[in-house]
Amino acid sequence: MSRALIIGCGGVAQVAIHKCCQLDSVFTDLCIASRTKSKCDKIKEELQNKTKTNITTKQIDANDFNALVKLFNEYKPEIVMNLGMPYQNLIIMDACLECNCHYLDTAAYEPEDVDDPTWRMNYEKRVKEKGFSAYFDYSYQWEYKDKFEKKGLIALLGCGFDPGVTQAYVAYAKKHEFDRIDTIDILDCNGGDHGYPFATNFNPEINLREVSSEGAYYEDGKWHSIPAMSIHSKYNFDGVGEKDIYLLHHEEIESIAKNYPEIKRIRFYMTFGESYIRHMKCLENVGMLSTTPIEYEGKKIVPIQFLKALLPDPASLGPRTVGKTNIGCIFKGIKDGKEKTYYIYNVCDHQESYKEVGSQAISYTTGVPAMCGAMLILKKIWTTPGANTLEIYDPDPFIEALDKYGLPKRESYNPIMVK
């Protein structure tokens, strides 16, 4: 018997809801709470006769601390899965502490208003001290470590695929394959085609903020920043074929570098097609990716939020997306005194995901790990309290759960390395 509450009802949340309902022996009671309640009601309607999970729906504005506390006190979830926006991570963590619930999310905190003077001051300081300029970083959420520890609660940070599974892959490689890891390349390939000239596969605001920012990688104890998209190469992906890959900054680099200080270099690459980059550059050049509000006919409009309203909803891409994703980590290091390379990854098919849960593979590869992480907390298999990323937990039960619930690992002991 466990009670879980999911915040958000977008692409990722809808997959997690399907998967929780498939595992109704663990997720016996599920509350879906989001800004637009009709979306929660629609999925409840679709699932309630196919599962024993008792589904409740609620309207919530996750920016409202008092409303969150009221909801959590009334529903009494053991875990709150924040599958909405990363802007509300801290407020939802506060509400979880207030109401004694575990917490889980899939993306590191970043503020909605990046012009807020207090946040900006801290941000400028961090850019100088650490050397990467992304809006997100884990410091805000790691500050909650003691508070969660003292209450014996877990805040599982970044439990999607990347971040999430990629960190579990690092822990798995260290546990089973290496005495010492020297380098990691995290490769995120989306070989899917949705047929639109331009669309993002997850929340457009977060996606475009991430991709249009400076890139960064970690080497010899330091961050190295590069202009956006300025390092690129090609890689031939199992199940997909050859794709252009671009070096980006990504949040798990920060936590892997912290938890495995012996690793000399960590890089993250993502695939992009020529059309995506051309559209993104053009939108950036005309100011449509700006997060700073402008006055338009007496109204304040945030350009990137207006753009989001024009773009296809990622949750609607499922029926039209064909092809596969391939996401994983390539390692170089030492085992028993000898140099070794190892690649662990998952290949996920957009149409198979759609047939199973009505969503494309980007939402699927995020929603399934979120369900698996929540399950391990609810079953008390992962018990270390605190605000933690995935590297610190035993990777084996998580990788086993992924194998079982839709994201099986593939391995190669002779991978082609990224040039």
Answer for which of 12, 55, 95, 257 binds ligand NDP (CB under 6 A) is 12
Shortest CB 14 distance to ligand NDP, Å: 8
Q: Is 107 in the site for ligand NDP (CB under 6 A)?
A: yes
Q: What are phi and psi of 233, to 5 degrees?
A: -155, -170
Q: Is 318 in the site for ligand NDP (CB under 6 A)?
A: no
Within 8 A by CB and 6+ apart from 123, the residues are 114, 135
Q: Is 32 in the site for ligand NDP (CB under 6 A)?
A: no
Within 8 A by CB and 6+ apart from 171, the residues are 390, 391, 392, 393, 394, 395
Residue of 310, 313, 290 whose CA lies nearest to 300 = 290
CA dihedral 274, 83, 140, 180 (to 10 degrees): -70
> Residue-wise over 17-36: b if at least 16 C-beta within 10 A, else e?
bbbbbbbbebbbbbbbbbbe
Q: Is 401 in the site for ligand NDP (CB under 6 A)?
A: no
The token pair that represents 68 in the structure block = 């969150």
| Piece of the chain touching ligand NDP by CB under 6 A; list 6-14, 20-28, 287-295, 396-404 | 6-14
Q: Is 353 in the site for ligand NDP (CB under 6 A)?
A: no
Percent helix, strand, coil in the chain, to 5, is 40, 25, 35
Q: Is 304 in the site for ligand NDP (CB under 6 A)?
A: no
Q: Is 123 in the site for ligand NDP (CB under 6 A)?
A: no
Burial of 234 (C-beta count, 10 Å sphere; 0-12/13-18/19+): exposed
| Piece of the chain touching ligand NDP by CB under 6 A; list 4-12, 120-128, 271-279, 293-301 | 4-12
Q: Is 415 in the site for ligand NDP (CB under 6 A)?
A: no
Query: x/- string (CB under 6 A) for ligand NDP, residues 269-288?
Result: --------------------
**Residue nearer to ligand NDP on the CB measure, 53 or 201:** 201
**Residue nearer to ligand NDP on the CB measure, 237 or 268:** 268
Burial of 150 (C-beta count, 10 Å sphere; 0-12/13-18/19+): exposed
Q: Is 305 in the site for ligand NDP (CB under 6 A)?
A: no
Q: Is 192 in the site for ligand NDP (CB under 6 A)?
A: no
State in Å, rounded, how far the first CA of the chain is from the last one: 50
**Residue nearer to ligand NDP on the CB measure, 271 or 366:** 366
Q: Is 160 in the site for ligand NDP (CB under 6 A)?
A: yes
Q: Is 191 in the site for ligand NDP (CB under 6 A)?
A: no
Site for ligand NDP in 56-95 (CB under 6 A): 60-63, 83-86, 88
Shortest CB 85 distance to ligand NDP, Å: 5
Q: Is 141 in the site for ligand NDP (CB under 6 A)?
A: no
Q: Is 395 in the site for ligand NDP (CB under 6 A)?
A: no
Residue 65 C-alpha from the chain's centroid: 23
Shortest CB 210 distance to ligand NDP, Å: 8
Q: How many CA atoms lie within 13 A of 379 on its CB side?
A: 15
- Are the beta carbons of 106 and 83 closer than 8 angstroms? yes
Residues that bind ligand NDP in the complex, under the rule CB under 6 A: 7-13, 34-36, 39, 60-63, 83-86, 88, 106-107, 158, 160-164, 202-203, 206, 314-315, 362, 366
